Structure 1
């Protein structure tokens, strides 16, 4: 495990970056019937998919607990490798006040992602995958949660030490039979703006570059857990990874993670 140092830029709107352009005039949005029966599915689907066809597809594998033991750090892993030409993976919790957690463009990475999010109440948690066929492939499940994951102050705020460690990066790369698994975390309070007197402040963009592969990019919202931790999968043994992050106050953080078994 390596510890990486740091140090500044801009901001994004809640669903704007996750939503494609609006459908052409006269073209009604195509909203698939939701097998989970969520009261907000039609709203999110119309906004996120903008009329593109949507299918519910078990080929999108979403691994998650059906009961949230801790609604502040709820683990989700998405595997869309069964689909071809994946361009985007959007992870959302329908009934969260901030529904979209992350919008992942794999680039040269495999269409596989693991992270931790916040849950504010019982909700469907889903992955929506834009594949090479131009359709959104969606899968997910209901999760029982006690609530308050988005509306309670982060632990680092309560301890008061968050500013001392802001932007500290840690990461490691591991060789597996599937390729190189890269895991990294950054110290950040990931404030949602839903706590009294604490404005929204969160990581907004993450770029991961590994030699020989197009960069992977993540657009991130405050629904991702405090001190975000991401795990990506790259084909082969590509060597060192370069990380670049930017938060909503314009601060930038960069670091490097050596490849497996390399200094």
Structure 2
């Protein structure tokens, strides 16, 4: 039986039915085959072992919210927001995409920031997009969303690579801190803030002929006393000239310092008022 890759939801449903019939004979359940995955994605069991650990304890958790478009109009710039509520002891957040050729997108350690991050990434085909949140007890809490796409986001060059302008802006950082505003019609006191950063970089995946992988791999945000506020590890699927948004429980005082590197050893070092 042939299942078109252009209809991944239909294909997954048909495969799930077939697997259910087989599992009835074998005395197993479909939930066992997919390890409880609500998307019944075949790559998930191997992804869990590869990125979270062979013996990792995982639970699908509605408190881990992943928001993205129903359809990715621009597969090279798919907006995603990950936020976690009422889950104590968060140590790190890992974002994974099942059907991308490079599945790991980023790893975020909030340190003293809130457990939320917004960014854009490249999507090769329709896929579940997941956030795995590790808490201090060693459990990974999994949330996700399904994004449809015409595909091709990982295998075409970015605009600055096409026109050659990337070399003139490489490593430049711009950003701004926005103070939280009260919700209209309420007496809520606004105490938080949001940091939005843009780093100029081509973020090449290495999947375009003649262009090797070239991407920002580490970022750290520090305060005026050089204390680390958050730590971010990024990978090839993050979009060209990436923009990140981070939330804080209170507005960071004074000047912020942004430091990082790319996989070629180029350094990023900027200060924001």
Q: TM-score w.r.t. structure 2 length?
A: 0.81
Q: Distance in 2 between matches of 1:162 and 1:112?
A: 29
Contact preservation (8 Å) 2:59, 2:140: yes
Q: How many residue pairs align between the two structures? A: 228
More off after superposition, 219-228 vs 128-137? 128-137
Q: Which residue of 1 aligns with 2:237?
A: 223
Distance 1:147 1:187, change over 3 A: same
Distance 1:159 1:210, change over 3 A: same
1:210 deviates by 2.8
Equivalent of residue 34 in structure 1, options 16, 19, 37? 37
Does residue 104 (structure 1) correspond to residue 103 (structure 2)? The answer is: no
The CA RMSD over aligned residues, in Å, is 1.4
Contact preservation (8 Å) 1:93, 1:125: yes
Q: Distance in 1 between matches of 2:120 and 2:271?
A: 22
Does residue 171 (structure 1) correspond to residue 186 (structure 2)? The answer is: no
Contact preservation (8 Å) 1:211, 1:238: no
Contact preservation (8 Å) 2:67, 2:145: no
Q: Which residue of 2 aligns with 1:253?
A: 268
Does residue 132 (structure 1) correspond to residue 145 (structure 2)? The answer is: no
Q: Distance in 2 between matches of 1:169 and 1:81?
A: 30
More off after superposition, 240-249 vs 186-195? 240-249
Q: Which residue of 1 aligns with 2:31?
A: none
* Structure number with higher relative contact order (C-alpha < 8 Å, ≥ 6 residues apart): 1
Equivalent of residue 221 in structure 2, options 208, 212, 229? 208
1:245 deviates by 1.6
SS at match of 1:110: coil
Q: How does 1:1-263 map to 2 (within 5 A)?
A: 32-50=35-53, 51-176=55-180, 177=190, 179-211=192-224, 214-239=228-253, 240-258=255-273
1:211 deviates by 4.8
1:39 deviates by 1.5
Q: Distance in 1 between matches of 2:201 and 2:86?
A: 33
1:214 deviates by 3.9
Q: Which runs of 5+ in 1 are unaligned?
A: 1-30, 259-263
Q: Distance in 2 between matches of 1:100 and 1:178?
A: 33
SS at match of 1:158: helix
Structure with the larger helix share: 2
Contact preservation (8 Å) 2:120, 2:239: yes
Q: TM-score w.r.t. structure 1 length?
A: 0.84
Q: Distance in 2 between matches of 1:41 and 1:224?
A: 20
Q: Which runs of 5+ in 2 are unaligned?
A: 1-33, 181-189
1:178 deviates by 5.3
Contact preservation (8 Å) 1:107, 1:217: yes
1:109 deviates by 0.7
